[in-house]
């Protein structure tokens, strides 16, 4: 019996050796990959197969093997949350629908260092995944779409943070669904040529090109999301600077992570002033008595694409002009919303952000001070190893102009190399850079990259310092709390030299980049309490002591099971952090802005009240005030009521003028809708920015849903 078992194991091991690649394959480091142009992708969405030999170095994070389009669109064969998925988008977005529909089949993940064969099939009705020739999973998903229209990626995706760390070989695609017998043949190394679309073998890789072994098949070209040439959008020169007038104010509607329950999405709605990690959207300029603002708009007819738009409110006349459209970002992703600031000479700067590295970023400057009629595109550079290179990508941008010091930027990168640690698993690393003129920028300096990374909010005290408050994305595999959906803990630190050095609130030097969960910047350990943390705003008292506004919840999903969503302030009194509750709301992505006014008088304008789509993003807007520096809070006034859609993300302008005190947008919480932009004054009166304008200048009307 023992001899039989030994013989069986030997034969099994030998068969694996014969089937698996005999070399190192094509090596991927998490930031490199290969790309096939969309025009060359001829796969039919109602019948295709994809296969690859994969050897992973580690199993953390999301790692794309073969993907078409963005995550959750077209299809992806990838490693995610300890499983390998074949995800297929089987129904497209429609004009009135909530978004794309997709499903996936789950198979066991590979063991690190072991060649494993994955083959996924889709026949228009069922998704199946085979591991080493054996079917491990299937899922029903009826196809209702006509074509895949996006680029194909090998070992990467169009956005950062999803690259393969390991090797791949013999990647094959067919324009039909393979049978189980054919899958076994492919695993055994036989050629199944019928309707084979592509085959990429390691030996065919030459430099930056990976030639196709199928006659006439498309070539894959090297793709590195962190490099300037890696963008899946057209090159910068092909995204036109429009400088044209819109005929009204229409915000972008956006959703993220379908939840397949009554709440439909993790978050969604009118997100023209989203996310919390972008700032500022508005700046008051006393020299001309105007509040300039930007937002994520959308085109009039289809409302599918994100437009970067800029305008102003004239405090002398109480009017707004037609907004200026800078560009079409060619995405509907509100993470690409613009931010702005104004320099010492009055020039208006617009920073066009990108969600990851899959799309380019831009910087524009008004041609005249305090003017929005015409902007010019800047060609900024940053330093890399002492050499100037193009600065054409940045995410979650927070930009400050400090008098006499120039620009200070706090932002996020998905390029792991910035940490200088090959073992890092950080997906979102916090960085700083600065510039005297907005054109030549310093090298990126990472200041936090704990485990899977961070989300942050920042603020300034006068022109003296920038404070950053952030959470961290854990990697607790035992409890299942891994990645951004389990963001937790509250951290704070500040810099007085544009990000070169950092201190905590006590004034103690903090060694950066932070990599340990427990460090000098930790304000409160919410991870130990099992709570998520969502940071909204950072402000300062008259002495420069920081105040952080944030909420906590029991989990990332929408709905009452993760109540309470409790709002807090964390206030450094000069000797200790004082954490006080404010109120509860009903969604993790409810949002408020914190205003520090006279003495100990603080004000919050936020979406604390239940809206027409309860437990979805936003709600009704209310004003909360504290007369004792946050010890106790009172709901002073509810600004909106009986709204048709939820109000979302009221933002505090820099130097906020009493007549234009917060800017936000509305949108349906559970399905695509129009989005209207609003602002309020300090007294709590709400005004609607006109969706259509017949005149070049118009007075906004008082909103009709005010109590």
pLDDT at 501 over 50: yes
Q: Are 430 and 409 in contact (CB under 8 A)?
A: no
| 3-class state of residue 182 by DSSP | helix
Instruction: Please compute, for residue 698, the number of CA atoms within 13 A of its CA located in the half-sphere on the CB side.
Output: 18
Mind spelling out the 3-state secondary structure of 48-98? EEEEEEEEECCCCCCEEEEEECCCCCCEEEEEECCEEEEEEEEECCCCCCC
Instruction: Give pLDDT, residue 231.
Output: 33
Average pLDDT of the residues in 200-205: 85
In angstroms, the CA 10 to CA 265 distance is 50
Give per-residue pLDDT as tens, 594-620. 999 998 999 999 999 999 999 999 999
Give per-residue pLDDT as tens, 656-669. 999 999 999 999 99
In angstroms, the CA 228 to CA 360 distance is 8
How far from 673 is each of 250, 251, 268, 700, CA to CA, in Å? 11, 10, 10, 21
Average pLDDT of the residues in 320-345: 96
Instruction: Give pLDDT, residue 17.
Output: 40
- Strands (DSSP E) contained in 406-558 are 406-413, 429-435, 445-448, 456-461, 465-472, 475-476, 481-482, 488-495, 502-503, 509-510, 522-524, 532-540, 546-553
In angstroms, the CA 176 to CA 193 distance is 11
- Which residues are bridge partners to 585 per DSSP? 565
Instruction: Give pLDDT, residue 100.
Output: 54
Instruction: Give pLDDT, residue 14.
Output: 36
pLDDT at 18 over 90: no
Q: For residue 195, give the DSSP letter.
A: T
Q: Are 674 and 250 in contact (CB under 8 A)?
A: yes
Give per-residue pLDDT as tens, 362-397. 999 999 999 999 999 999 999 999 999 999 999 999
Instruction: Give pLDDT, residue 545.
Output: 98
Which of the given ranges, 224-233, 256-265, 588-597, has the highest pLDDT on average? 588-597
* φ, ψ of residue 238 in degrees (nearest 5): -95, -10
* Global pTM exceeds 0.95: no
Give per-residue pLDDT as tens, 270-325. 999 999 999 999 999 999 999 999 999 999 887 889 999 999 999 999 999 999 99
Query: For the ranges 41-50, 156-165, 441-450, 539-548, which has the lowest average pLDDT?
Result: 156-165
User: Is the pLDDT higher at 217 or at 567?
Assistant: 567
Residue 463: name the closest of 434, 442, 439, 441 by CA.
Answer: 434
User: Is the pLDDT higher at 6 or at 583?
Assistant: 583
User: Is the pLDDT higher at 34 or at 689?
Assistant: 689
In angstroms, the CA 663 to CA 273 distance is 8
- Which residues are bridge partners to 428 per DSSP? 453
Residues contacting 158, CB < 8 A, separation 6+: 67, 69, 70, 150, 151, 225, 232, 356, 358
Query: pLDDT class for 53, splitting at 50, 70, 90?
Result: very high
Instruction: Give pLDDT, residue 80.
Output: 87
How far from 221 is each of 26, 27, 410, 472, CA to CA, in Å? 13, 15, 33, 35
Query: For the ranges 380-389, 533-542, 579-588, 697-706, which has the lowest average pLDDT?
Result: 697-706
Give me the chain's average pLDDT, please.
Answer: 90
Q: Are 361 and 351 in contact (CB under 8 A)?
A: yes
How far from 637 is each of 581, 607, 624, CA to CA, in Å? 18, 12, 7
pLDDT at 5 over 70: no
Average pLDDT of the residues in 398-424: 93
* Residue in this structure with the two tokens 């993300």, named with its chain if needed: 649
Q: Are 527 and 517 in contact (CB under 8 A)?
A: yes
């Amino acid at each position: 019996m023992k001899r039989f078992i030994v013989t069986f194991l030997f034969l099994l091991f030998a068969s694996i050796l014969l089937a698996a690649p005999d070399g190192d394959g094509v090596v991927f480091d998490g930031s490199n990959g290969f790309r096939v142009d969309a025009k060359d992708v001829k796969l039919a969405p109602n019948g295709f197969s994809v296969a690859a030999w994969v050897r992973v170095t580690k199993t953390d994070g999301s790692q794309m093997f073969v993907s078409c389009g963005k995550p959750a669109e077209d299809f992806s064969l990838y490693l995610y949350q300890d499983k390998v998925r074949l995800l297929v988008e089987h129904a497209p977005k429609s004009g009135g629908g909530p978004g794309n529909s997709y499903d996936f089949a789950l198979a066991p993940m590979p063991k690190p260092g072991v060649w494993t064969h994955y083959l996924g099939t889709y026949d228009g009705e069922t998704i199946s995944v085979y591991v080493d020739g054996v079917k491990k999973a299937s899922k029903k998903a009826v196809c209702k779409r006509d074509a895949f229209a996006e680029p194909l990626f090998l070992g990467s995706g169009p956005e950062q943070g999803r690259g393969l760390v390991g090797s791949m070989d013999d990647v094959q695609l067919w324009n039909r669904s393979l049978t189980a017998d054919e899958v076994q043949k492919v695993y055994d190394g036989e050629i199944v040529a019928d309707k084979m679309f592509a085959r990429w073998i390691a030996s065919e890789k030459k430099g930056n090109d990976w030639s196709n072994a199928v006659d006439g098949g498309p070539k894959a070209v090297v793709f590195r999301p962190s490099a300037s040439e890696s963008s899946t959008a057209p090159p910068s020169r092909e995204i036109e600077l429009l400088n044209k007038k819109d005929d009204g104010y229409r915000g972008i509607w956006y959703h993220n992570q379908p939840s397949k329950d009554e709440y439909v999405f993790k978050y969604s709605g009118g997100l023209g002033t989203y996310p919390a990690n972008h700032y500022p959207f508005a700046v008051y300029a006393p020299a001309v008595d105007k509040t300039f603002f930007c937002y994520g708009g959308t085109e009039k007819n289809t409302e599918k694409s994100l437009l970067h738009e800029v305008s102003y409110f004239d405090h002398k006349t109480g009017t707004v002009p037609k907004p200026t459209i800078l560009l079409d970002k060619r995405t509907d992703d509100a993470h690409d919303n613009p931010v702005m600031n104004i320099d010492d000479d009055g020039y208006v700067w617009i920073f066009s952000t990108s969600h990851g590295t899959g799309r380019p970023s831009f910087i524009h400057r008004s041609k005249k001070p305090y003017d929005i009629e015409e902007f010019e595109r800047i060609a900024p550079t940053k330093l890399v190893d002492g050499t100037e290179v193009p600065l054409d990508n940045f995410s979650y941008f927070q930009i400050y102009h400090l008098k006499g010091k120039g620009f200070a930027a706090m932002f996020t990168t998905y390029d792991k190399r910035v940490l200088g640690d090959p073992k890092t698993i950080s997906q979102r690393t916090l960085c700083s850079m600065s510039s005297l003129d907005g054109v030549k920028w310093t090298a990126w300096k990472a200041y936090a990259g704990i485990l899977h990374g961070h989300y942050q909010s920042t603020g300034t005290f006068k022109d003296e310092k920038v404070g950053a408050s952030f959470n961290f994305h854990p990697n607790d595999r035992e409890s299942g709390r891994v990645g951004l959906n389990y963001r937790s803990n509250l951290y704070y630190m500040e810099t007085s030299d544009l990000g070169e050095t950092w201190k905590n609130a006590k004034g103690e030097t903090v060694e950066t980049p932070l990599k340990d969960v427990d460090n000098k910047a930790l304000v409160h350990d919410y991870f130990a309490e099992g709570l998520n943390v969502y940071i909204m705003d950072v402000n300062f008292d008259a002495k420069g002591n920081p105040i952080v506004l944030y909420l906590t919840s029991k989990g990332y999903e929408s709905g009452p099971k993760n109540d309470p969503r409790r709002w807090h302030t964390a206030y450094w009194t000069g000797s200790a952090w004082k954490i006080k509750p404010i109120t509860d709301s009903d969604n993790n992505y409810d949002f408020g802005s914190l205003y520090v006014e006279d003495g100990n008088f603080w004000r919050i304008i936020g979406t604390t009240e239940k809206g027409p789509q309860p437990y979805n993003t936003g709600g009704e807007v209310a004003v909360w005030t504290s007369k004792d520096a946050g010890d106790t809070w009172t709901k002073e006034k509810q600004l909106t009521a009986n709204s048709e859609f939820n109000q979302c993300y009221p933002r505090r302008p820099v130097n906020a003028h009493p007549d234009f005190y917060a800017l936000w947008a509305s949108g349906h919480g559970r399905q695509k809708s129009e989005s209207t932009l609003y602002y309020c004054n300090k007294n709590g009166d709400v005004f609607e920015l006109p969706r259509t304008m017949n005149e070049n200048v118009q007075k906004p009307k008082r909103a009709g849903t005010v109590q």
